[in-house]
C-alpha cells in the first residue's frame, strides 16, 4: 500500500507524533510541512525529528506557500495539529481546501463542529464542497473512545435507551503538558478558579456526546457538564510534578445528554496515579458492556487515528464529515 502524500501543519508534540506514525506505518509520505515556531522554520523534518525514515522536507513558515508546495509534490491531504477551537483553525482549513487538499485535523471541536461553531461549520462545509474535498476531525478523545467506539457498539442493538462511556487516563505516564493541563499540584481553590474561567478542562466532551447522539439520530434537549478536582490522598510524585496530599492530582469531568430517545452519560477522569481504562455500556436490546483493559494511550492513538482516517477522508463525499459518516476502510 503506497502512502498518501501529505502536508503536515503544526509541529508540536502531536504534530511530530503524527509524522513519526506516518513514516513508521508507511501510510503517509510527508512532502511538505509548516509551523509558526521560528525554531522550526527553515529546518528539515529529518533534522527536527531525528527518526529514521523521516524525509528531508523543509519546514515552511507560510501556510499558503506550504500548501502550494504540497500540491506541487502531489499531496492529497493536509494533517492539521494546531488548535483546539474551530474559529482558531477555520482560516487554516479554508487556505488548505482552496489549494485542493483534503484535511484531517486533531482540533477537538472539529469532531462535531456544529455544537459550538454552527455558522463556521456550515461555511467550512460549503468551502469543502466547493473545493471538492473533505474535512474531518479525528483523534482518540474526542474521536474514538467516547464517540466512535460507543456508536459502533450500538450497531448490534435493535434499540438503545442509554449509553454510558468512561475514560480514565493515568496522567503519571503522560507528558508534562498533559500533567499540567489536568491541574496537577494546584490547590482546590486554584483549580476551581481556573475551571470557572475555562482555563482547565478537556475540550471535546460535549463534542463527543453531540457526535454520538447525532449519529444515532437523536435530537437532544440539553447537555449538562461539570468538572471537579481529584484531590491527592497521599503525596504523588511524577517526572514533572510533586503533588502533596490535599493538592489536586487531576480532574473528573462528567456529562449528561438527555434526548427524547435516550440518555448519554460520560465520565472523563484524568489524574496522576489513576489506573487507565476505558469502558462503554449500552442499555438496549441486546445490552452490551465493553471494557478496554488498561485504556488506550492518548498521544500514540491520536496520531494513529489521524493517519488511519486519511484514506476515509479522501474517499468520503466532499464536505465537512465526521468519523461516523465516512467509510472506515
Cβ of residue 147: shortest distance to a second copy, in angstroms?
11
- Which residues would be at the binding site for a second copy (CB under 8 A)? 1, 20-21, 24-25, 140, 144, 148-149, 151-152, 154-159, 214-217, 285-286, 288-294, 296-297, 300-301, 303-305, 307-309, 316, 322, 324-329
Cβ of residue 190: shortest distance to a second copy, in angstroms?
32
Cβ of residue 23: shortest distance to a second copy, in angstroms?
10
DSSP 73-140: TT--EEEE-S-SSHHHHHHHHHHHHHTT-EEEE--GGGGSTTTT-HHHHHHHHHHHHHHT-EEEE--S
237 vs 300, beta carbon nearer a second copy: 300
- Quote the DSSP letter at residue 317: P
| CB half-sphere exposure, 119, CA atoms < 13 A | 1
Cβ of residue 219: shortest distance to a second copy, in angstroms?
9
252 vs 277, beta carbon nearer a second copy: 277
56 vs 293, beta carbon nearer a second copy: 293
86 vs 140, beta carbon nearer a second copy: 140
Cβ of residue 278: shortest distance to a second copy, in angstroms?
9
103 vs 307, beta carbon nearer a second copy: 307
Residue 46 CB-density burial (10 A; 0-12 exposed, 13-18 middle, 19+ buried): middle
- CB within 8 A of 119, min separation 6: which ones? none
DSSP 3-27: PEEEEEE--SHHHHHHHHHHHHHSS
Amino acid at each position: 500500500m503506497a502512502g498518501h502524500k501529505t502536508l503536515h501543519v503544526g509541529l508540536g508534540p502531536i504534530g511530530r507524533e503524527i509524522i513519526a506514525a506516518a513514516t513508521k506505518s508507511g501510510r503517509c509520505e510527508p512532502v511538505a510541512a509548516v509551523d509558526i515556531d521560528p525554531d522550526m522554520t527553515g529546518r528539515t523534518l529529518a533534522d527536527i525529528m531525528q527518526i529514521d525514515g523521516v524525509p528531508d522536507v523543509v519546514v515552511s513558515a507560510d501556510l499558503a506557500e506550504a500548501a502550494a508546495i504540497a500540491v506541487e509534490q502531489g499531496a492529497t491531504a493536509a494533517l492539521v495539529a494546531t488548535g483546539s477551537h474551530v474559529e482558531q483553525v477555520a482560516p487554516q482549513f479554508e487556505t488548505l481546501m482552496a489549494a485542493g487538499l483534503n484535511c484531517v485535523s486533531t482540533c477537538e471541536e472539529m469532531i462535531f463542529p456544529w455544537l459550538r461553531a454552527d455558522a463556521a461549520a456550515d461555511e467550512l462545509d460549503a468551502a469543502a464542497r466547493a473545493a471538492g474535498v473533505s474535512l474531518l476531525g479525528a483523534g482518540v478523545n474526542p474521536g474514538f473512545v467516547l464517540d466512535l467506539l460507543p456508536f459502533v457498539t450500538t450497531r448490534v442493538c435493535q434499540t438503545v435507551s442509554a449509553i454510558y462511556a468512561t475514560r480514565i487516563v493515568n496522567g503519571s505516564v503522560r507528558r508534562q503538558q498533559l500533567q499540567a493541563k489536568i491541574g496537577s499540584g494546584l490547590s482546590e481553590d486554584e483549580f476551581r478558579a481556573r475551571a470557572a474561567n475555562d482555563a482547565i478542562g478537556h475540550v471535546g466532551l460535549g463534542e463527543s456526546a453531540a457526535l454520538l447522539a447525532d449519529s444515532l439520530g437523536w435530537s437532544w434537549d440539553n447537555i449538562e457538564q461539570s468538572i471537579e478536582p481529584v484531590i491527592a490522598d497521599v503525596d504523588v510524585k511524577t517526572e514533572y510534578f510533586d503533588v502533596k496530599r490535599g493538592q489536586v492530582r487531576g480532574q473528573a469531568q462528567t456529562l449528561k445528554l438527555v434526548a427524547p430517545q435516550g440518555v448519554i452519560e460520560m465520565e472523563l477522569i484524568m489524574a496522576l496515579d489513576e489506573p487507565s481504562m476505558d469502558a462503554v455500556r449500552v442499555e438496549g436490546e441486546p445490552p452490551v458492556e465493553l471494557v478496554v483493559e488498561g485504556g488506550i494511550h492518548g498521544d500514540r492513538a491520536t496520531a494513529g487515528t489521524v493517519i488511519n482516517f486519511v484514506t476515509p477522508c479522501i474517499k468520503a463525499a466532499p464536505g465537512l464529515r465526521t468519523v461516523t459518516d465516512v467509510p472506515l476502510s
